[in-house]
Amino acid sequence: MTRSLADRAVQQRRVVIENNHGEKLSGILHETGSKQLVIVCHGFQSSKERIPMVNLAAALEKEGISAFRFDFAGNGESEGLFQYGNYRREAEDLRAVVQYFRGENRVISAVIGHSKGGNVVLLYASKYNDVHTVVNISGRFNLEKGMEGRLGKDFLLRLQQHGYIDVFNRKGKFEYRVTEESLKDRLTTDTRAACLLIQQECRVLTVHGSMDKIVPVEDALEFAKFIPNHKLNIIKGADHEYTSHQGELTSAVLDFLRESLNAEKDMPKLLLKDHSFRSRL
């Protein structure tokens, strides 16, 4: 057991990457020795340490695939101030991570995002088209919805009156401030347009829980309408965090990665440089 823990410590190490705003992004690299790397992105006001991110990275690690889970700027251990909205800026954080590891001679096999992170990986795919396997876990299609639950029913009125809204948790502790600018950032992020910009050669999986009370499962059906090369997997009974369905979530993701590698056989120009990923999966 002691040896196992020591091996695990060697396989996982902290990596700090600077984004294009000079902020240091903190992440954990699950190192297996494979050149192939999968990047895992967290959701709204979350971190790399939340259960779905940790379990997905660990599952990839067990398959012999290196994985990197990190904190967006203003979240977790990364530098910067937390900001409401920020979808496009977080896509640029992901860009900084991708470019860093490409500079380390890694092949980015897939990007995976949970909740808001799902939106981020789709925005990334729509803009850069350089990672051809994308997994959207419980992302929100209709960004104009879901705000009342966090900000209150009269949030627009309060925002107009004061120019900002301070959000507190259930214990009355201040969490973050929503400004008119940050709200506009969310409302002007066009998910439909981004989905339509994703190229045919990019394979996208959307996974969603049928009992998700944070983002309704109907949003998953919208992604399926507009993403050209899309697969939909609804996990029956699962909530937003897949609390009792972690095994089903990781299986769905790993199965899709296997399918993506098989699909590469028919697209020679997109064949991965390091074929060790295929043998490991």
Please spell the DSSP secondary structure of 152-199, one letter per residue.
-TTHHHHHHHHSEEEEE-TTS-EEEEEEHHHHHHHHT--HHHHHHHS-
Per-residue confidence band for 5, with pLDDT thresholds at 50, 70 and 90 = very low
Position 6 scores a pLDDT of: 42
CATH class, 11-143+191-263 region? alpha beta
What is the overall mean pLDDT for the chain?
Answer: 88
Q: Residue 148 burial (CB < 10 Å; 0-12/13-18/19+)?
A: exposed
Residue 265: per-residue pLDDT: 55
Tens digits of residue pLDDT in 69-110: 999 999 999 999 888 889 999 999 999 999 999 999 999 999
Residue 111 to residues 5, 28, 160, 209, Cα–Cα distance (Å): 27, 15, 38, 20
Q: What pLDDT digit, counting tens, does each position of 124-169 carry?
A: 999 999 999 999 999 999 988 867 767 777 788 888 888 887 888 7
Q: What is the edge-to-edge ordering of all strands in the sheet holding 230-235?
A: 12-18, 24-30, 66-70, 36-41, 107-114, 133-137, 203-209, 230-235
- Tens digits of per-residue pLDDT, 23-59? 999 999 999 999 999 999 999 989 999 999 999 999 9
Burial status of residue 237 (CB atoms within 10 A of its CB: 0-12, 13-18, 19 or more) = exposed
Residues 204-256 pLDDT 10s:
999 999 999 999 999 999 999 999 999 999 999 999 999 999 999 999 999 99
Q: What is the pLDDT of residue 153?
A: 76
Under a CB-based contact definition with an 8 Å cutoff, are residues 30 and 13 in contact?
Answer: no
Distance of alpha carbon 72 from alpha carbon 211, whole angstroms? 27
Q: Return the C-alpha torsion angle 37, 39, 40, 42, nearest 10.
A: 160
Q: What is the pLDDT of residue 267?
A: 52
Q: Where are the domains of the chain?
A: 11-143+191-263, 144-188
* Residues 77, 71: Cα–Cα separation, whole Å: 7
Between CA 80 and CA 19 the distance in angstroms is 10
